[in-house]
Every structure is written in structure tokens, then in C-alpha cells.
Amino acid sequence: MPRLYDSVSSADAGAYADEADDHFHDECGVFGIFGHDDAGALTALGLHALQHRGQEAAGIVSYDGAQFFTERHIGLVGDNFTKPSVIARLHGNRAIGHTRYSTTGGAVLRNVQPLFAEFAGGGFAVAHNGNITNARTMQRALRKRGSIFQSTSDTETLIHLVATSDRSSFIERFIDAIRQLEGAYALVGMTDKKLVGARDPLGVRPLVLGDLDGAYVLTSETCALDIIGARFVRDIEPGEVVVITNDGIESLHPFANTPSSRFCVFEYVYFARPDSIVANKNVYDVRKRIGAELAREAPVPADVVVPVPDSGTPAAIGFAEAAGIPFDLGIIRNHYVGRTFIQPTDSIRHMGVKLKHNANRQILEGKRIVLVDDSIVRGTTSLKIVEMVREAGAAEVHMRIASPPTTDSCFYGVDTPEKSKLIAARMNLEELARYIKVDSLAFLTIDGLYRAAGEPARTNENPQFCDACFTGDYPTRLTDRAENNGDPQLSLLAEVG
């Protein structure tokens, strides 16, 4: 039976609170490659391109025909996977990798993916983007049957379901397992013979197929294909399972009566990298169209359009072009800010936003400013940004948000506050405008967001996206939440993928 040789970093990243961070965080990115002699190094490069999807931890598992090898580390990909000695330990012509943003419980090594288990028929490694909304319920049942969990990750639920399945082949057991899952998942898995990819029946999270000189690649975004010079082949379809072996690739569709796709619309708003192609749409172009829709829906007389960098930049460009108002960089971002490096006293915490952003006074002074950002979650950053712009001498400050108000928590693999901490769930538009101290405030409508993404106006009968964070319309059952009496905090106790 193949053995797992495991090398892990023991550095404790610690927990840090970033009050200036007022954005959602996607949980992770996944990458897998089959049939290339540099599989370990290419996986590290792919994860580097997916670093925006998770900055707390990263891991790679490779296979050389006889043994599995794994490297799991707390911290950034570039801090851990650029050392030749690390890559040299990832032997083999196939590998999978994962980069992760942790939520409840913090970043600890036992939760760093890919997760690995030895089954009776051999080893299995898996990396997951998304969140299984019945994980806690399934885990309780599995524990009663004797399963022992080593992590707090919902992803480990899949491993135990595969291990306890009574089906004969690995793929049959894998399909039996994912049929029992609810929620969102984009998975890459690896055995001694196969690379496997799967998306949930609604296709909430992205997964694409690429080709590099005959080696197949599975990954979250096309930007990870670009960095290694791979060719984009196609999106993995909602509900599809792909199996890659030395004999080629096989596509399976194990879900009967697959419902309409509900891809996460926030991938277009914020999560995906602007240079990625998502569901056949260039993300940068969609974000520019979002800005143009916003300009048409909420025009305002102004002298200059200023993005809140970097996530607000494409929408601000689209807004400026549609409104006929000059675009300029009135806020400069420091790209070299990481974890808090000094004690967060009250006075230092108040200045925290200036670690990341600084006003460009020459652009702002005496001007009527339109600030464009992608979203408002807690409102803390927006308030500090507006105060900073006013201190730089802006005559008026108008805020335009390139998404609808965020009123509901996400249960599909995104780190979100509970609903009571979402400022748009507690305040109406006028109250929120007063809170962040702007002269006017407007959000993109849900129909405007759909139009920018190339879809008709939203209908309750057949929405094209998962937009639950804006509408409260969750496309799947939230079993764990229901069993915890609807308490969102209890339902989010699991570490999501």
C-alpha cells in the first residue's frame, strides 16, 4: 500500500483581527495536474495565481507511482513553496494543491488541505472549495458508526463517506459520497491511479479544465492556467464528475434531474481575479459593465471618479466612462501590508486603514468625489475611507457600491459575519449614508448586476445565480443551520473548505 510522507510547517500564524478589512473572503482555491514530470512545481505556481482566494495556508500532495508526498504550511504560497528543497520533496507526475482562508477556529495545521487518508484500496487526497451545509449532521451520524475525525473541516466529511461506502470501485464510492452532500463544492481529488474533479449540482463554485502539453489540469480559475502556460479547455459542468487516468479523461453526470445552475454571482463582483474567464465571461469586462450600470442607475454630478483600490477599480473605470467623468487614483494602496505587526492599541487601530490606503491629496482637494467600491459588509472601512478623503480636502464625497446591499450571510464557502453584523441588514440607505458620512450613497440593483453579467433581470422563479447574500434566497437546504434552530453562528462552527 502506498505510504504518505508528510512534511508540515509548525509555525503558528496566530489569529489577527483586521478592522480595516471590510470585504468578504472566499475560502480557497484548488489545483490539480495529472501527467507532468514537474507536477509539484506547477501546482505551486498554480496556487500562487490563486493566492487571492486564500492567504492563511496552503498545501500540496503529490504521487510518484509508489508513494504520496505532502507539504502543508501556514502562510502564503510564496513564503513556503518557492524553496527548491520544498518542491524537491514533491515527487511524481501528478499533484493536487489548495490555498485557504480560514474562518471559525483559525488557521491550524490539522485543517490545512489537501486532506489525506489511507483507505483499504490505497491513499486518497482531496482539496475543496465551498461549504457543505449538512456536514455537522453527517458527522454526527458518522461518529455514531465509529468514524473518528482529525480536523474541524467540513471537507473531512467526504473522506469518511467515501471510506464507509459499500460500493465496489473508488469512483462509485466517491459518487455515493457526494450524492449525500448538500451545499457547494468544487473538488479535486487524487488516488494512486486517478485525478478526480467534481462540482455540486448547482455549480456554485468554479472549476475549469485545462491542458498543458497533454497533461490535464483542474483548477478554480483560468488565471492559474495562464501562469503555467496551459490551454483552457472548458468549465467543468454543474453536477459533473471528471476522472483522469493514464487512459485519458472520462466525464460522468451522476445527478439525475440536475437543477438550473446557480453560480455564485459574487465571483464576478469580487472573488475571481479580474483576468480570469468565469463561465465564459471575462471578469474584468463584467466589472466594468457593473460600473456602467451603476452610473446609469445612480448618476451624480462630480469632478472625479475614484476607486477604493484594488477591488473597486474596474467598476470605477466603467462608471467613469459611462458617466463622462474623469477617472483618477485618488487613493493609493500599499501592497506590502500583511498581518498586524504591532499591538492593536486603540490609537493604532484607528490608524489601521492608513496602513493599506492613503489619500492622494492633489487629486482630491476641492473636488466633488465619487468613491466606487465593490461592497459594504460591516461599514468600518467605508467610514474610515470617507473620513480620510474628507481630511484630504474633498468638497463632496459620494459613495457608489458595485453590488446590491449585503443583507444575508453566505453558507456556501465564504467567510461572512452573522446577519446582525452586516450593516445593510441593520440600516436603511439613509441611515447607512449618515453612518459612513457621505453626501450620497447608492448600491447597484440586483437587476443591474444581472444585466452586467449578461443575464435578464432576476426572477424569483428562475434566478440564474446564487445571490443569497443579497436576497436571502438560498438555493439549497441549510440542514446544519436548521438543526441548530436557525442560529447562523452554530451552523458556521465547522471549518469550511
Q: What is the pLDDT of residues 27-68, one digit of tens each?
A: 699 999 999 999 999 999 999 999 999 989 999 999 999 999
The full set of domain ranges for the chain reads: 4-262, 278-468
pLDDT score of 160 more than 90: yes
The CATH number of 278-468, from 3.40.50.2020, 3.10.50.30, 3.30.2420.10, 3.40.640.10, is 3.40.50.2020
| Per-residue pLDDT, 379 | 93
Bridging pattern class, strands 396-401 and 368-373: parallel
Question: 485 in the Ramachandran plot: left (φ > 0), alpha (ψ -120 to 50) or beta?
Answer: left
Specify the range with the lowest mean pLDDT, choosing from 168-182, 215-229, 333-347, 392-406.
Answer: 333-347
Choice among 28, 410, 466, 469 that is catalytic: 28
Q: Return the closest-CA partner of residue 175 out of 147, 153, 194.
A: 194
Amino acid 301: pLDDT: 98
DSSP symbols for 113-168: SSEEEEETTEEEEEEEEEEETTHHHHHHHHHHTT----SSBTHHHHHHHHHH---S
User: Residue 345 — very low, low, confident or very high, per pLDDT cuts 50/70/90?
Assistant: low
Whether the pLDDT of residue 83 is over 80: the answer is: yes
Question: Above 50 in pLDDT, residue 104?
Answer: no
Is there a contact between 267 and 470 (Cβ–Cβ < 8 Å)? no
Check if 28 is active-site: yes
Q: How far apart are CA 408 and CA 176, in angstroms?
A: 32
What distance in Å separates the CA atoms of residue 315 and residue 443, rounded to the nearest whole number? 12
User: What topology does CATH give the domain 4-262?
Assistant: Glutamine Phosphoribosylpyrophosphate, subunit 1, domain 1 (3.60.20)
Phi-psi label, residue 86: left if phi above 0, alpha if psi -120 to 50, beta otherwise: alpha
pLDDT of residue 395: 98
Question: Taking the CB of residue 332, how many other CB atoms lie within 10 A of it?
Answer: 13
Q: Are 403 and 443 in contact (CB under 8 A)?
A: yes
Q: Which residues pair with 7 in a beta bridge?
A: 71
pLDDT category at 338 given cuts 50, 70, 90 is low
Distance, in Å, from the CA atom of 199 to the CA atom of 301, rounded to the nearest integer, reads 45
**Average pLDDT taken over every residue of the chain:** 89
CA–CA distance from 297 to each of 12, 32, 291 (Å)? 47, 42, 10
- Nine-digit cell at 170? 473508488
Query: At 436, phi and psi to the nearest 5?
Result: -90, 0
Residue 278 DSSP SS3: strand
